[in-house]
Chain A
Amino acid sequence: MSTVAARDALEAAYRTDARRVLATLIRLLGGFDAAEEALHEAFAAAALQWPREGVPANPYAWLVSTGRFRSIDRHRRQARLDGALHELALATAPESASDQELLETGLIPDDELRLIFTCCHPTLAHDARIALTLREVAGLTTEEIARAYLVPAPTIAQRIVRAKAKIRDDAIPYEVPGRAELPARVESALSVIYLIFNEGYLATEGPSLLREDLCAEALRLGRLVAGLLDDPEALGLLALMLLHEARRATRVDTTGDLVLLENQDRALWDRACIAEARALIVRALAMRRIGPYALQAAIAALHFEAASAAETDWAQIVALYDVLQRVDPSPVVALNRAAALAMRDGPERGLAAIEAVIEQGGLDGYALAHAARADMQRRLGRAAAARLSYTRALELTRQPAERRFLEARRRALTPLE
Protein backbone atom coordinates (compact mmCIF):
# COMPACT_ATOMS: atom_id res chain seq x y z
CA MET A 1 0.00 0.00 0.00
CA SER A 2 1.36 3.42 -0.88
CA THR A 3 2.22 5.88 1.87
CA VAL A 4 -0.07 8.48 0.33
CA ALA A 5 -3.06 6.12 0.24
CA ALA A 6 -2.42 5.09 3.86
CA ARG A 7 -2.17 8.71 4.90
CA ASP A 8 -5.44 9.55 3.11
CA ALA A 9 -7.11 6.57 4.81
CA LEU A 10 -5.79 7.76 8.17
CA GLU A 11 -7.09 11.27 7.62
CA ALA A 12 -10.47 9.91 6.57
CA ALA A 13 -10.54 7.68 9.67
CA TYR A 14 -9.71 10.68 11.82
CA ARG A 15 -12.56 12.69 10.35
CA THR A 16 -15.21 9.99 10.44
CA ASP A 17 -14.19 7.71 13.31
CA ALA A 18 -12.13 9.64 15.88
CA ARG A 19 -15.15 10.86 17.84
CA ARG A 20 -16.79 7.43 17.91
CA VAL A 21 -13.50 5.76 18.84
CA LEU A 22 -13.08 8.21 21.73
CA ALA A 23 -16.65 7.61 22.93
CA THR A 24 -16.09 3.85 22.98
CA LEU A 25 -12.68 4.14 24.65
CA ILE A 26 -14.16 6.27 27.44
CA ARG A 27 -16.56 3.42 28.18
CA LEU A 28 -13.88 0.72 27.95
CA LEU A 29 -11.21 2.59 29.92
CA GLY A 30 -13.56 4.30 32.36
CA GLY A 31 -12.30 7.87 32.03
CA PHE A 32 -11.74 10.81 29.69
CA ASP A 33 -8.00 11.30 30.19
CA ALA A 34 -7.06 7.65 29.68
CA ALA A 35 -9.32 7.49 26.61
CA GLU A 36 -7.87 10.63 25.04
CA GLU A 37 -4.34 9.35 25.54
CA ALA A 38 -5.37 5.98 24.08
CA LEU A 39 -6.97 7.70 21.07
CA HIS A 40 -3.76 9.60 20.45
CA GLU A 41 -1.69 6.41 20.71
CA ALA A 42 -4.04 4.49 18.44
CA PHE A 43 -3.67 7.09 15.67
CA ALA A 44 0.10 7.25 16.23
CA ALA A 45 0.24 3.44 15.84
CA ALA A 46 -1.94 3.63 12.71
CA ALA A 47 0.43 6.20 11.16
CA LEU A 48 3.26 3.66 11.55
CA GLN A 49 1.45 0.42 10.75
CA TRP A 50 -1.09 1.23 8.04
CA PRO A 51 1.50 2.16 5.37
CA ARG A 52 3.34 -1.14 6.06
CA GLU A 53 0.48 -3.53 6.72
CA GLY A 54 -2.39 -1.95 4.85
CA VAL A 55 -5.53 -0.23 6.05
CA PRO A 56 -7.66 -2.54 8.23
CA ALA A 57 -11.09 -3.56 6.95
CA ASN A 58 -12.74 -1.91 9.94
CA PRO A 59 -10.62 1.11 10.98
CA TYR A 60 -12.98 1.93 13.87
CA ALA A 61 -12.59 -1.52 15.49
CA TRP A 62 -8.82 -1.51 14.82
CA LEU A 63 -8.40 1.90 16.47
CA VAL A 64 -10.54 0.94 19.48
CA SER A 65 -8.70 -2.31 20.07
CA THR A 66 -5.24 -0.76 19.52
CA GLY A 67 -6.03 2.20 21.78
CA ARG A 68 -7.33 -0.09 24.51
CA PHE A 69 -4.33 -2.41 24.28
CA ARG A 70 -1.86 0.50 24.40
CA SER A 71 -3.62 1.97 27.41
CA ILE A 72 -3.52 -1.30 29.35
CA ASP A 73 0.14 -1.70 28.45
CA ARG A 74 0.94 1.83 29.59
CA HIS A 75 -0.91 1.32 32.90
CA ARG A 76 1.02 -1.90 33.50
CA ARG A 77 4.34 -0.13 32.98
CA GLN A 78 3.20 2.78 35.12
CA ALA A 79 2.07 0.42 37.87
CA ARG A 80 5.44 -1.38 37.85
CA LEU A 81 7.10 2.00 38.15
CA ASP A 82 4.88 3.04 41.04
CA GLY A 83 4.90 -0.39 42.61
CA ALA A 84 1.17 0.03 42.98
CA LEU A 85 -0.47 -3.37 42.65
CA HIS A 86 -4.01 -2.11 42.93
CA GLU A 87 -3.54 0.02 39.83
CA LEU A 88 -2.31 -3.03 38.00
CA ALA A 89 -5.49 -4.86 38.95
CA LEU A 90 -7.58 -1.92 37.78
CA ALA A 91 -5.83 -1.58 34.46
CA THR A 92 -6.12 -5.23 33.55
CA ALA A 93 -9.79 -5.52 34.46
CA PRO A 94 -11.22 -4.44 31.07
CA GLU A 95 -9.12 -7.10 29.36
CA SER A 96 -11.59 -9.75 30.45
CA ALA A 97 -13.76 -8.81 27.48
CA SER A 98 -12.68 -10.83 24.47
CA ASP A 99 -11.77 -9.10 21.24
CA GLN A 100 -14.85 -10.53 19.58
CA GLU A 101 -16.97 -9.05 22.33
CA LEU A 102 -15.17 -5.75 21.92
CA LEU A 103 -16.01 -5.70 18.24
CA GLU A 104 -19.64 -6.35 19.00
CA THR A 105 -20.03 -3.96 21.92
CA GLY A 106 -17.71 -1.41 20.33
CA LEU A 107 -20.05 -1.00 17.41
CA ILE A 108 -22.95 0.02 19.58
CA PRO A 109 -23.87 3.53 18.40
CA ASP A 110 -24.95 4.23 21.99
CA ASP A 111 -21.42 5.21 22.97
CA GLU A 112 -21.77 8.67 21.46
CA LEU A 113 -25.20 9.03 23.06
CA ARG A 114 -23.71 8.01 26.43
CA LEU A 115 -21.03 10.63 25.95
CA ILE A 116 -23.64 13.32 25.21
CA PHE A 117 -25.55 12.42 28.38
CA THR A 118 -22.37 12.52 30.47
CA CYS A 119 -21.21 15.85 29.00
CA CYS A 120 -24.70 17.38 29.46
CA HIS A 121 -25.21 16.08 33.00
CA PRO A 122 -27.38 18.54 35.00
CA THR A 123 -24.88 18.74 37.89
CA LEU A 124 -22.33 20.36 35.56
CA ALA A 125 -22.44 24.15 35.12
CA HIS A 126 -24.21 25.26 31.94
CA ASP A 127 -21.10 26.76 30.31
CA ALA A 128 -19.17 23.62 31.18
CA ARG A 129 -21.75 21.38 29.48
CA ILE A 130 -21.42 23.34 26.23
CA ALA A 131 -17.61 23.41 26.29
CA LEU A 132 -17.35 19.73 27.18
CA THR A 133 -19.87 18.64 24.52
CA LEU A 134 -18.11 20.66 21.83
CA ARG A 135 -14.70 19.27 22.72
CA GLU A 136 -15.48 15.64 23.59
CA VAL A 137 -18.45 14.89 21.33
CA ALA A 138 -17.91 17.35 18.48
CA GLY A 139 -14.11 17.10 18.48
CA LEU A 140 -13.45 20.86 18.43
CA THR A 141 -10.21 22.03 20.01
CA THR A 142 -10.18 24.20 23.12
CA GLU A 143 -8.87 27.10 21.02
CA GLU A 144 -11.67 26.71 18.44
CA ILE A 145 -14.33 26.76 21.16
CA ALA A 146 -12.69 29.83 22.69
CA ARG A 147 -12.72 31.60 19.29
CA ALA A 148 -16.34 30.69 18.62
CA TYR A 149 -17.45 32.02 22.01
CA LEU A 150 -14.97 34.94 22.16
CA VAL A 151 -13.62 33.75 25.50
CA PRO A 152 -9.89 33.40 26.32
CA ALA A 153 -8.68 29.81 25.71
CA PRO A 154 -7.51 29.31 29.34
CA THR A 155 -11.09 30.03 30.50
CA ILE A 156 -12.47 27.25 28.30
CA ALA A 157 -9.58 24.96 29.30
CA GLN A 158 -10.38 25.45 32.98
CA ARG A 159 -14.09 24.84 32.44
CA ILE A 160 -13.24 21.55 30.76
CA VAL A 161 -10.68 20.53 33.40
CA ARG A 162 -13.15 21.29 36.24
CA ALA A 163 -16.04 19.54 34.50
CA LYS A 164 -13.94 16.41 33.98
CA ALA A 165 -12.82 16.49 37.61
CA LYS A 166 -16.47 16.74 38.67
CA ILE A 167 -17.45 13.83 36.46
CA ARG A 168 -14.68 11.77 38.05
CA ASP A 169 -15.25 12.90 41.66
CA ASP A 170 -19.03 12.57 41.54
CA ALA A 171 -18.68 9.30 39.62
CA ILE A 172 -21.19 10.55 37.02
CA PRO A 173 -22.07 7.35 35.16
CA TYR A 174 -21.31 6.84 31.49
CA GLU A 175 -24.69 5.59 30.40
CA VAL A 176 -27.98 6.37 28.74
CA PRO A 177 -30.22 7.22 31.72
CA GLY A 178 -33.08 4.96 32.77
CA ARG A 179 -36.73 5.59 32.01
CA ALA A 180 -37.46 7.59 35.19
CA GLU A 181 -34.62 10.03 34.69
CA LEU A 182 -34.75 10.14 30.90
CA PRO A 183 -37.09 13.09 30.16
CA ALA A 184 -35.19 15.55 32.39
CA ARG A 185 -31.82 14.32 31.11
CA VAL A 186 -32.95 14.51 27.46
CA GLU A 187 -34.11 18.07 28.12
CA SER A 188 -30.68 19.02 29.43
CA ALA A 189 -28.94 17.43 26.42
CA LEU A 190 -31.35 19.06 23.95
CA SER A 191 -30.89 22.49 25.51
CA VAL A 192 -27.10 22.17 25.10
CA ILE A 193 -27.53 21.16 21.44
CA TYR A 194 -29.93 24.07 20.82
CA LEU A 195 -27.57 26.55 22.49
CA ILE A 196 -24.76 25.34 20.22
CA PHE A 197 -27.01 25.73 17.19
CA ASN A 198 -28.17 29.20 18.24
CA GLU A 199 -24.64 30.37 18.85
CA GLY A 200 -23.86 29.33 15.29
CA TYR A 201 -27.08 30.64 13.81
CA LEU A 202 -27.53 33.95 15.56
CA ALA A 203 -23.81 34.73 15.30
CA THR A 204 -23.38 37.54 17.81
CA GLU A 205 -19.80 38.12 16.58
CA GLY A 206 -16.79 36.18 15.40
CA PRO A 207 -15.57 34.30 12.33
CA SER A 208 -18.45 32.99 10.23
CA LEU A 209 -16.79 29.73 9.19
CA LEU A 210 -16.65 28.46 12.78
CA ARG A 211 -20.24 29.53 13.20
CA GLU A 212 -21.31 27.24 10.36
CA ASP A 213 -19.35 24.44 12.01
CA LEU A 214 -21.37 24.96 15.18
CA CYS A 215 -24.66 24.68 13.25
CA ALA A 216 -23.51 21.61 11.36
CA GLU A 217 -22.36 19.95 14.58
CA ALA A 218 -25.61 20.79 16.40
CA LEU A 219 -27.54 19.21 13.51
CA ARG A 220 -25.35 16.10 13.66
CA LEU A 221 -25.92 15.77 17.42
CA GLY A 222 -29.64 16.46 16.96
CA ARG A 223 -29.86 13.66 14.36
CA LEU A 224 -27.91 11.32 16.61
CA VAL A 225 -30.21 11.87 19.60
CA ALA A 226 -33.40 11.85 17.50
CA GLY A 227 -32.26 8.69 15.74
CA LEU A 228 -31.48 6.75 18.91
CA LEU A 229 -34.23 7.96 21.24
CA ASP A 230 -37.84 7.92 20.17
CA ASP A 231 -38.46 11.20 21.97
CA PRO A 232 -40.93 13.81 20.67
CA GLU A 233 -38.80 16.71 21.89
CA ALA A 234 -35.67 15.32 20.22
CA LEU A 235 -37.66 15.10 16.97
CA GLY A 236 -39.06 18.59 17.59
CA LEU A 237 -35.63 20.13 18.16
CA LEU A 238 -34.19 18.50 15.03
CA ALA A 239 -37.16 19.78 13.01
CA LEU A 240 -36.75 23.26 14.46
CA MET A 241 -33.03 23.38 13.62
CA LEU A 242 -33.70 22.07 10.10
CA LEU A 243 -36.29 24.79 9.49
CA HIS A 244 -33.83 27.49 10.59
CA GLU A 245 -31.19 25.88 8.42
CA ALA A 246 -33.56 25.81 5.42
CA ARG A 247 -33.67 29.60 5.23
CA ARG A 248 -30.12 30.35 6.33
CA ALA A 249 -29.12 31.54 2.83
CA THR A 250 -31.96 34.05 2.67
CA ARG A 251 -31.48 35.58 6.12
CA VAL A 252 -28.82 38.04 4.94
CA ASP A 253 -28.33 39.69 1.54
CA THR A 254 -25.12 39.77 -0.51
CA THR A 255 -23.77 42.70 1.54
CA GLY A 256 -24.39 40.85 4.80
CA ASP A 257 -27.45 42.88 5.82
CA LEU A 258 -30.41 41.22 7.54
CA VAL A 259 -33.46 40.40 5.45
CA LEU A 260 -36.77 40.21 7.34
CA LEU A 261 -38.87 37.07 7.04
CA GLU A 262 -41.52 38.94 5.01
CA ASN A 263 -38.90 40.01 2.43
CA GLN A 264 -36.98 36.73 2.15
CA ASP A 265 -36.90 34.99 -1.23
CA ARG A 266 -38.98 31.94 -0.48
CA ALA A 267 -37.88 30.24 -3.70
CA LEU A 268 -34.38 29.90 -2.18
CA TRP A 269 -35.52 28.06 0.94
CA ASP A 270 -34.16 24.52 1.12
CA ARG A 271 -37.15 22.30 0.26
CA ALA A 272 -35.44 19.03 1.30
CA CYS A 273 -34.75 20.42 4.80
CA ILE A 274 -38.36 21.62 5.07
CA ALA A 275 -39.78 18.26 3.97
CA GLU A 276 -37.59 16.40 6.47
CA ALA A 277 -38.63 18.79 9.23
CA ARG A 278 -42.31 18.46 8.39
CA ALA A 279 -42.16 14.66 8.62
CA LEU A 280 -40.43 14.94 12.01
CA ILE A 281 -43.11 17.36 13.30
CA VAL A 282 -45.88 14.99 12.22
CA ARG A 283 -44.16 12.14 14.13
CA ALA A 284 -43.58 14.34 17.21
CA LEU A 285 -47.16 15.61 17.33
CA ALA A 286 -48.49 12.05 17.02
CA MET A 287 -46.79 11.13 20.31
CA ARG A 288 -48.68 11.84 23.48
CA ARG A 289 -46.19 14.23 25.06
CA ILE A 290 -45.94 17.66 23.46
CA GLY A 291 -43.13 20.01 24.42
CA PRO A 292 -41.67 23.40 23.58
CA TYR A 293 -39.38 22.26 20.76
CA ALA A 294 -42.10 20.44 18.83
CA LEU A 295 -44.40 23.45 19.28
CA GLN A 296 -41.77 25.92 18.11
CA ALA A 297 -41.07 23.68 15.12
CA ALA A 298 -44.81 23.53 14.34
CA ILE A 299 -44.95 27.34 14.47
CA ALA A 300 -41.89 27.67 12.23
CA ALA A 301 -43.41 25.15 9.79
CA LEU A 302 -46.53 27.33 9.40
CA HIS A 303 -44.28 30.17 8.20
CA PHE A 304 -42.89 27.84 5.56
CA GLU A 305 -46.27 26.70 4.32
CA ALA A 306 -47.35 30.21 3.34
CA ALA A 307 -46.48 31.55 -0.11
CA SER A 308 -45.91 34.99 1.44
CA ALA A 309 -45.88 36.70 4.86
CA ALA A 310 -49.37 38.11 4.25
CA GLU A 311 -50.80 34.67 3.48
CA THR A 312 -49.40 33.14 6.66
CA ASP A 313 -51.95 31.56 8.98
CA TRP A 314 -51.34 34.01 11.84
CA ALA A 315 -54.43 32.88 13.76
CA GLN A 316 -53.06 29.35 13.90
CA ILE A 317 -49.62 30.68 14.92
CA VAL A 318 -51.11 32.72 17.78
CA ALA A 319 -53.03 29.62 18.91
CA LEU A 320 -49.82 27.55 18.93
CA TYR A 321 -48.06 30.30 20.91
CA ASP A 322 -50.90 30.10 23.46
CA VAL A 323 -50.15 26.39 23.94
CA LEU A 324 -46.40 27.07 24.02
CA GLN A 325 -46.90 29.72 26.70
CA ARG A 326 -48.60 27.14 28.90
CA VAL A 327 -45.69 24.67 28.53
CA ASP A 328 -42.96 27.31 28.62
CA PRO A 329 -44.19 30.51 30.32
CA SER A 330 -41.13 32.61 29.47
CA PRO A 331 -41.16 36.33 28.57
CA VAL A 332 -39.45 35.58 25.23
CA VAL A 333 -42.33 33.28 24.25
CA ALA A 334 -44.80 35.99 25.34
CA LEU A 335 -42.95 38.51 23.16
CA ASN A 336 -43.10 36.23 20.11
CA ARG A 337 -46.79 35.65 20.73
CA ALA A 338 -47.31 39.43 20.84
CA ALA A 339 -45.48 39.82 17.51
CA ALA A 340 -47.73 37.15 15.96
CA LEU A 341 -50.76 38.89 17.46
CA ALA A 342 -49.69 42.10 15.72
CA MET A 343 -49.67 40.23 12.41
CA ARG A 344 -53.15 38.85 13.10
CA ASP A 345 -54.83 41.91 14.65
CA GLY A 346 -52.70 44.88 13.54
CA PRO A 347 -50.00 47.06 15.14
CA GLU A 348 -52.27 48.72 17.75
CA ARG A 349 -53.11 45.40 19.46
CA GLY A 350 -49.53 44.21 18.88
CA LEU A 351 -48.02 47.26 20.58
CA ALA A 352 -50.32 46.86 23.60
CA ALA A 353 -49.31 43.19 23.91
CA ILE A 354 -45.57 43.95 23.53
CA GLU A 355 -45.73 46.73 26.12
CA ALA A 356 -47.58 44.43 28.50
CA VAL A 357 -44.76 41.88 28.16
CA ILE A 358 -42.04 44.51 28.71
CA GLU A 359 -43.89 45.88 31.77
CA GLN A 360 -43.95 42.41 33.32
CA GLY A 361 -40.15 42.69 33.47
CA GLY A 362 -37.37 40.34 32.49
CA LEU A 363 -36.96 41.72 28.97
CA ASP A 364 -35.63 45.24 29.53
CA GLY A 365 -32.13 44.11 28.53
CA TYR A 366 -33.40 42.20 25.48
CA ALA A 367 -32.76 44.14 22.26
CA LEU A 368 -35.45 42.30 20.27
CA ALA A 369 -38.17 43.44 22.70
CA HIS A 370 -37.30 47.09 22.07
CA ALA A 371 -36.91 46.49 18.33
CA ALA A 372 -40.37 44.87 18.21
CA ARG A 373 -41.88 47.80 20.13
CA ALA A 374 -40.13 50.25 17.78
CA ASP A 375 -41.56 48.43 14.76
CA MET A 376 -45.12 48.73 16.09
CA GLN A 377 -44.62 52.43 16.91
CA ARG A 378 -43.16 53.01 13.44
CA ARG A 379 -46.12 51.34 11.77
CA LEU A 380 -48.49 53.47 13.86
CA GLY A 381 -46.65 56.64 12.76
CA ARG A 382 -45.35 57.45 16.25
CA ALA A 383 -41.89 58.51 15.09
CA ALA A 384 -40.62 60.06 18.34
CA ALA A 385 -41.54 57.03 20.44
CA ALA A 386 -40.14 54.70 17.76
CA ARG A 387 -36.86 56.64 17.71
CA LEU A 388 -36.48 56.15 21.48
CA SER A 389 -37.20 52.41 21.16
CA TYR A 390 -34.72 51.95 18.28
CA THR A 391 -32.09 53.80 20.30
CA ARG A 392 -32.69 51.51 23.28
CA ALA A 393 -32.48 48.42 21.02
CA LEU A 394 -29.22 49.72 19.51
CA GLU A 395 -27.72 50.16 22.97
CA LEU A 396 -28.28 46.44 23.52
CA THR A 397 -27.05 45.07 20.15
CA ARG A 398 -23.47 44.23 19.24
CA GLN A 399 -24.12 42.19 16.10
CA PRO A 400 -23.07 44.39 13.12
CA ALA A 401 -25.83 43.32 10.67
CA GLU A 402 -28.52 43.85 13.31
CA ARG A 403 -27.06 47.25 14.17
CA ARG A 404 -27.08 48.32 10.51
CA PHE A 405 -30.70 47.21 10.19
CA LEU A 406 -31.85 49.11 13.30
CA GLU A 407 -29.88 52.23 12.34
CA ALA A 408 -31.42 52.23 8.85
CA ARG A 409 -34.90 51.91 10.36
CA ARG A 410 -34.21 54.75 12.79
CA ARG A 411 -32.87 57.00 10.00
CA ALA A 412 -35.95 56.30 7.85
CA LEU A 413 -38.34 57.65 10.51
CA THR A 414 -39.99 60.95 9.54
CA PRO A 415 -37.98 63.71 11.22
CA LEU A 416 -41.08 65.46 12.56
CA GLU A 417 -44.05 63.79 14.10
Chain B
Amino acid sequence: MQYVCLVYFDPKAVFGQSPEAEAMLAKIGPHTAQLKASGHLVSFQPLVLPNEAITVRVRDGKASATDGPFMETKEVLGGVVLIEARDLNEAVQIAGGFPHATLGSIEVRPLVDFSKPRPKL
Protein backbone atom coordinates (compact mmCIF):
# COMPACT_ATOMS: atom_id res chain seq x y z
CA MET B 1 0.00 0.00 0.00
CA GLN B 2 1.10 3.56 -0.62
CA TYR B 3 0.66 6.38 1.84
CA VAL B 4 1.36 10.09 1.57
CA CYS B 5 3.14 11.65 4.52
CA LEU B 6 2.39 15.36 4.82
CA VAL B 7 5.19 16.98 6.77
CA TYR B 8 4.09 19.98 8.85
CA PHE B 9 6.36 22.21 10.91
CA ASP B 10 6.80 25.71 12.27
CA PRO B 11 9.37 27.38 9.94
CA LYS B 12 10.74 29.39 12.87
CA ALA B 13 11.49 26.20 14.80
CA VAL B 14 13.11 24.46 11.81
CA PHE B 15 15.04 27.39 10.30
CA GLY B 16 15.71 29.31 13.53
CA GLN B 17 19.28 27.91 13.68
CA SER B 18 18.84 26.41 17.14
CA PRO B 19 21.17 23.48 17.91
CA GLU B 20 18.17 21.08 17.90
CA ALA B 21 17.06 22.31 14.50
CA GLU B 22 20.58 22.09 13.04
CA ALA B 23 20.98 18.54 14.35
CA MET B 24 17.60 17.61 12.88
CA LEU B 25 18.41 19.11 9.47
CA ALA B 26 21.71 17.22 9.39
CA LYS B 27 19.82 13.92 9.73
CA ILE B 28 17.55 14.42 6.73
CA GLY B 29 20.08 13.35 4.06
CA PRO B 30 21.17 10.07 5.71
CA HIS B 31 17.56 9.32 6.70
CA THR B 32 16.37 9.78 3.11
CA ALA B 33 19.15 7.48 1.88
CA GLN B 34 18.16 4.86 4.44
CA LEU B 35 14.47 5.07 3.48
CA LYS B 36 15.40 4.71 -0.19
CA ALA B 37 17.64 1.71 0.54
CA SER B 38 14.93 -0.07 2.53
CA GLY B 39 12.47 0.31 -0.36
CA HIS B 40 9.97 2.36 1.62
CA LEU B 41 10.58 5.63 -0.22
CA VAL B 42 8.61 6.11 -3.44
CA SER B 43 9.12 9.86 -3.94
CA PHE B 44 9.56 13.02 -1.94
CA GLN B 45 8.86 16.67 -2.67
CA PRO B 46 10.11 19.29 -0.21
CA LEU B 47 8.19 22.58 -0.61
CA VAL B 48 9.42 26.16 -0.34
CA LEU B 49 7.80 28.21 2.42
CA PRO B 50 4.28 29.54 1.83
CA ASN B 51 5.49 33.17 1.53
CA GLU B 52 6.40 32.21 -2.03
CA ALA B 53 3.06 30.51 -2.66
CA ILE B 54 -0.04 31.83 -4.35
CA THR B 55 -3.59 30.54 -3.88
CA VAL B 56 -6.00 30.38 -6.82
CA ARG B 57 -9.80 30.28 -6.63
CA VAL B 58 -12.54 30.43 -9.25
CA ARG B 59 -15.90 31.83 -8.06
CA ASP B 60 -18.79 32.62 -10.37
CA GLY B 61 -16.48 32.01 -13.30
CA LYS B 62 -13.96 34.62 -12.12
CA ALA B 63 -10.46 33.57 -11.15
CA SER B 64 -8.66 35.28 -8.30
CA ALA B 65 -5.15 34.80 -6.99
CA THR B 66 -4.04 35.76 -3.51
CA ASP B 67 -0.74 35.59 -1.67
CA GLY B 68 0.25 32.40 0.15
CA PRO B 69 -2.11 30.41 2.32
CA PHE B 70 -2.64 32.81 5.24
CA MET B 71 -1.72 30.67 8.13
CA GLU B 72 -3.81 30.86 11.26
CA THR B 73 -1.57 28.27 12.82
CA LYS B 74 2.20 28.42 13.04
CA GLU B 75 2.71 25.05 11.33
CA VAL B 76 2.89 24.98 7.53
CA LEU B 77 3.00 22.14 5.00
CA GLY B 78 6.72 21.75 4.37
CA GLY B 79 6.85 18.69 2.14
CA VAL B 80 5.12 15.64 0.72
CA VAL B 81 6.64 12.16 0.94
CA LEU B 82 5.12 9.13 -0.81
CA ILE B 83 5.96 5.86 0.92
CA GLU B 84 5.31 2.15 0.41
CA ALA B 85 4.28 0.26 3.55
CA ARG B 86 2.65 -3.07 4.40
CA ASP B 87 -0.15 -1.38 6.33
CA LEU B 88 -1.14 1.73 8.27
CA ASN B 89 0.88 0.74 11.33
CA GLU B 90 4.05 0.28 9.28
CA ALA B 91 3.36 3.68 7.67
CA VAL B 92 3.01 5.21 11.15
CA GLN B 93 6.28 3.59 12.19
CA ILE B 94 8.07 4.94 9.11
CA ALA B 95 6.61 8.43 9.62
CA GLY B 96 7.79 8.29 13.24
CA GLY B 97 11.35 7.92 11.91
CA PHE B 98 11.24 11.17 9.90
CA PRO B 99 13.64 13.72 11.47
CA HIS B 100 10.93 16.40 11.05
CA ALA B 101 8.64 14.46 13.39
CA THR B 102 10.83 15.55 16.32
CA LEU B 103 10.02 19.24 15.71
CA GLY B 104 6.81 19.21 13.67
CA SER B 105 4.17 16.59 12.83
CA ILE B 106 3.56 14.10 10.05
CA GLU B 107 0.07 13.43 8.74
CA VAL B 108 -0.19 9.94 7.21
CA ARG B 109 -2.86 9.66 4.50
CA PRO B 110 -3.70 6.48 2.58
CA LEU B 111 -4.16 7.02 -1.17
CA VAL B 112 -7.69 6.70 -2.52
CA ASP B 113 -8.65 3.19 -3.57
CA PHE B 114 -10.83 3.69 -6.65
CA SER B 115 -12.30 0.19 -6.37
CA LYS B 116 -14.26 1.46 -3.35
CA PRO B 117 -17.28 3.77 -3.49
CA ARG B 118 -16.81 7.48 -2.87
CA PRO B 119 -17.39 8.58 0.70
CA LYS B 120 -20.90 9.97 1.37
CA LEU B 121 -20.84 12.86 3.81
Please tell me which one of the listed residues A37, A81, A160 contacts residue B89 in the complex, with CB atoms under 8 A apart: A160
- Contact A143 B93, CB 8 Å, known A40-B38, A153-B88: no
Asked whether, in the complex, the Cβ of A142 is within 8 Å of the Cβ of B87, the reply is yes
Q: How distant is B93 from chain A, measured CB to nearest CB, in Å? A: 6
A156 to B110, CA, bound (A): 14
**B27 on interface, CB distance cutoff 8 Å:** yes
Q: How distant is B37 from chain A, measured CB to nearest CB, in Å? A: 9
A-B contact pairs, 19 of them (CB 8 A): A33-B93, A36-B90, A37-B93, A40-B39, A40-B40, A40-B90, A41-B38, A74-B34, A77-B34, A81-B30, A135-B89, A142-B87, A142-B89, A144-B87, A154-B88, A156-B88, A157-B89, A161-B89, A161-B92
Q: A44-B38, A135-B87, A141-B87 are in contact. List 17 more A-B contacts (CB 8 A).
A: A33-B93, A36-B93, A77-B30, A77-B34, A81-B30, A141-B1, A142-B87, A142-B89, A143-B1, A143-B88, A143-B110, A153-B110, A154-B88, A156-B88, A157-B88, A157-B92, A161-B92
User: A143: which B residues are within 8 A, CB to CB?
Assistant: 1, 87-88, 110
What size tier do the contact residues of chain B reach?
10 to 19
Contacts of A341-366 to chain B: CB distance below 8 A: none
Residues of A participating in the B interface, judged by any CB pair closer than 8 Å: 33, 36-37, 40-41, 44, 74, 77, 81, 135, 141-144, 153-154, 156-157, 160-161
User: A161: which B residues are within 8 A, CB to CB?
Assistant: 89, 92
Please tell me which one of the listed residues B27, B38, B87, B110 contacts residue A81 in the complex, with CB atoms under 8 A apart: B27
Residues of B participating in the A interface, judged by any CB pair closer than 8 Å: 1, 27, 30, 34, 38-40, 86-90, 92-93, 110
A154 to B88, CA, bound (A): 8
A-B contact count (CB 8 A): 42
> When A and B form their complex, which 6 residue pairs have the shortest distance between CB atoms, in order from nearest?
A141-B87, A142-B88, A142-B87, A157-B88, A142-B89, A153-B88
User: A77: which B residues are within 8 A, CB to CB?
Assistant: 30, 34
User: B34: which A residues are within 8 A, CB to CB?
Assistant: 74, 77
Please tell me which one of the listed residues A40, A74, A153, A156 contacts residue B86 in the complex, with CB atoms under 8 A apart: A40
Nearest chain A residue, comparing its CB with the CB of B87: A141
A36 to B87, CA, bound (A): 12
User: B30: which A residues are within 8 A, CB to CB?
Assistant: 77, 81
Q: How distant is B60 from chain A, measured CB to nearest CB, in Å? A: 37
Asked whether, in the complex, the Cβ of A37 is within 8 Å of the Cβ of B38, the reply is yes
